[in-house]
Chain A
């Protein structure tokens, strides 16, 4: 068979499988159609680019480049993940909502996601046209799921290990990190369904580095298929993170190759959405992995066929 069904073991126990087709922004993305999610931060201080896209026009051009390079989703954030200057709700809205609006207008086929833990910011961005709420701090504000439900947009349910937003893990222990991640993300996903979020618009994210040390993030990457087996589509956000940096002993600017290696493995193990700073490379890596798995067709076969 040239195009295989992806290998999936049956969902464990009574965990209810999510739908095979992910619906975001009025589009359907079946299994075997990996999504690349471009990170665009309107922050002056994010760890990777230190504010390269803080300026509105710079951010909008970055979106253009990302879409041109093959991004399916643009994830817009207004507050850096790490500790730093306090950003008020009003300031966060001011940073994100106008950009959401502009991206919506200029790139109508791109799915627009907003990276926030605050329901109020999420709501304003949905008003501006966002299709997905990336609740990357793991349900700190339960109002987020209600916004997603009420407005019919997608939701990312993340494991942040109970960390408060913008805090770093300090001697966090997990007896079974994968078990903890599955329990927390599936609970968030099911809670969202109960709140009225459409099940086929929910993905789960193990939250690499969030409330985890490097050993934890490596283990959950190694065992990602167990998350995939829950049936919920899995999003991975690994781009240039500390677990890559510490694994290879590389500073932030030199983590691209390690990120791509982790990306290939996550793709091989069945992750569906890949949040990244490097859209072009990620696009090729996840597509190549899909072609090796047999879940995607190669783009241009010719060799030996003439």
Chain B
């Protein structure tokens, strides 16, 4: 059963070695991502699966190798976060970044990876998500997802008047654990707006089945013309029915 999920951006500039600019904004973004993952870890998951967009839909084991080297000076790493000196890099950028984020917060538990094809229908995404809802044990997801890359004239995809509203709607859905709203996001519009997060977020919507959720939208801005979300969804009651204790990661 899914007990917690974090949403983080899929931007290579999260990695300081790739984005050398000394930037308060980036420092803050990295801090928020770390906090989101700390919150997920505080839910004591048995495993964390990284979900992100990729060229095709595929699952990956812990030893799968990813690489940020195509984007600049960076190592190859496994989903486990360990440096990979051997093996061919097969993980898409989103999962490589997820592995890097997990390594950053020192997660040494079980890991997995799910790459979702951008072309996946919303229904495909829900089916993929349902597997995590049904999976035994305490399952957590790290969803690598972005809003539109067309948020400003300086944005990678230039400005599109629909982009800000699109991202606002996604952010509101994340803040309200509004699965229906996430599933309503139109794949075609998302593609037009260069929003890499549509499919992975719809997997999340499929995985977060009914029950109480507590949402925390930790960041929602577009400092470089790309909409970034940092958010968590957690079941407020954890473990064997014990009421959720105040979470040290929240302080």
Binding site for B on A (CB under 8 A): 83, 167-175, 213, 215, 246, 249
Contacts and interface: CB of A to CB of B under 8 A. Distances in A.
Nearest to B153: A83
Contacts of A170: 149, 156-157, 194, 226
| Minimum-distance CB pairs A-B, first 7 | A173-B70, A170-B156, A83-B158, A215-B72, A168-B156, A173-B71, A175-B70
Contacts of A169: 156
Nearest to A166: B158
Given A171-B11, A215-B72, 6 more contacts: A83-B153, A168-B157, A169-B156, A171-B12, A175-B69, A215-B73
Nearest to B17: A215
Contact of A168 (B11, B72, B158): B158
A215 B73 CA distance: 8
B231 interface: no
Among the interface residues A169, A170, A172, which one has the most CB atoms of the partner chain B within 10 A? A170
Contacts of B159: 83
A90 to B, nearest CB: 23
B21 interface: yes
B131 to A, nearest CB: 27
Contacts of B156: 168-171
Interface string B142-154: 0000000100010
Given A168-B157, A215-B18, A215-B72, A173 B149 contact: no
21 contacts: A83-B159, A167-B157, A167-B158, A168-B155, A168-B157, A170-B149, A170-B156, A170-B157, A170-B226, A171-B10, A171-B11, A171-B156, A172-B71, A173-B70, A213-B71, A213-B72, A215-B18, A215-B71, A215-B72, A215-B73, A246-B21
A215 to B, nearest CB: 4
Contacts of A175: 69-70
Contacts of B155: 168
Interface of B: 10-12, 18, 21, 69-73, 93, 149, 153, 155-159, 194, 226
Nearest to B94: A171
Contacts, number: 36
A170 B10 CA distance: 11
B191 to A, nearest CB: 13
A246 B21 CA distance: 8
Contacts of A173: 70-71, 93
B157 A171 contact: no
B153 A171 contact: no
Contacts of B73: 215
A135 B98 CA distance: 39
B54 to A, nearest CB: 12
Contacts of B70: 173-175
Contacts of B12: 171
B158 to A, nearest CB: 4
A152 to B, nearest CB: 37
Nearest to A249: B21
A171 B93 CA distance: 9
A246 B19 CA distance: 10
Nearest to B159: A83
Contacts of A172: 71
Contacts of A171: 10-12, 71, 93, 156
B18 to A, nearest CB: 7
Nearest to B69: A175
A167 B153 CA distance: 11
A124 to B, nearest CB: 27
B12 to A, nearest CB: 6
Contacts of A83: 153, 158-159
A247 to B, nearest CB: 9
B16 to A, nearest CB: 14
B153 to A, nearest CB: 7
A168 B149 CA distance: 11
A208 to B, nearest CB: 16
Among the interface residues A171, A173, A246, which one has the most CB atoms of the partner chain B within 10 A? A171
Nearest to B96: A173
A169 B149 CA distance: 11
A173 B91 CA distance: 13
B53 to A, nearest CB: 11
Nearest to A83: B158
Among the interface residues B156, B159, B194, which one has the most CB atoms of the partner chain A within 10 A? B156
A174 B68 CA distance: 10
Contacts of A167: 157-158
A200 to B, nearest CB: 35
Among the interface residues B70, B159, B226, which one has the most CB atoms of the partner chain A within 10 A? B70
